[in-house]
Structure 1
Amino acid sequence: MWAQGRIGAQLLSRFVGLQRPMGLMSWDGSRRGRATLISGQMVADQILHGLKDKIQRLETIGIQPCLVPVVVGQDPVSQIYLRKKLEAARAIGLRMRIQHVPAEVSSAELMALLDHLNRDEHVHGIIVQLPLPSALNAIDIGNAIQPAKDVDGFTQQNLGALVQSSEVARLSILNHIPCTATAVKKILEIGLAGHDWTGQRAVVIGRSLNVGLPIALVLESDRQNGGFDMTTTICHRNTVDLGASTRHADVLVTATGVPNLIRPEMVKPGAVVIDVGLNRIKLSDRVKLVGDCHPGVWDVAGYMTPVPGGVGPCTVASLMYNSVLAANRTAIRLSV
Structure 2
Amino acid sequence: MSIGVWGYLGEYEQERDDLLDAVDTVFRSGQLVLGASVEGFEAEFAGYHNVDACVSVDNGTNAIVLALRALGIEAGDEVITVSNTAAPTVIAIDAVGARPVFVDVDPDTYLMDVDQVEAAITPRSRAILPVHLYGQSVRMEPLLAIARRHDLAVLEDCAQAHGARHHGRIVGSFGDAAAFSFYPTKVLGAYGDGGAVLTGSRSTAARLRRLRYYGMEDRYYVVQTPGHNCRLDAVQAEILRRKLIRLDSYIKRRREIADRYREGLAGTGLVLPAVADGNEHVYYLYVVRHPDRERIMASASAAGIHLNVSYRWPVHTMSGFAHLEYGPGSLPVTERLADEIFSLPMYPSLTEIAQERVIDALVRAL
For normalisation by structure 1, the TM-score amounts to: 0.33
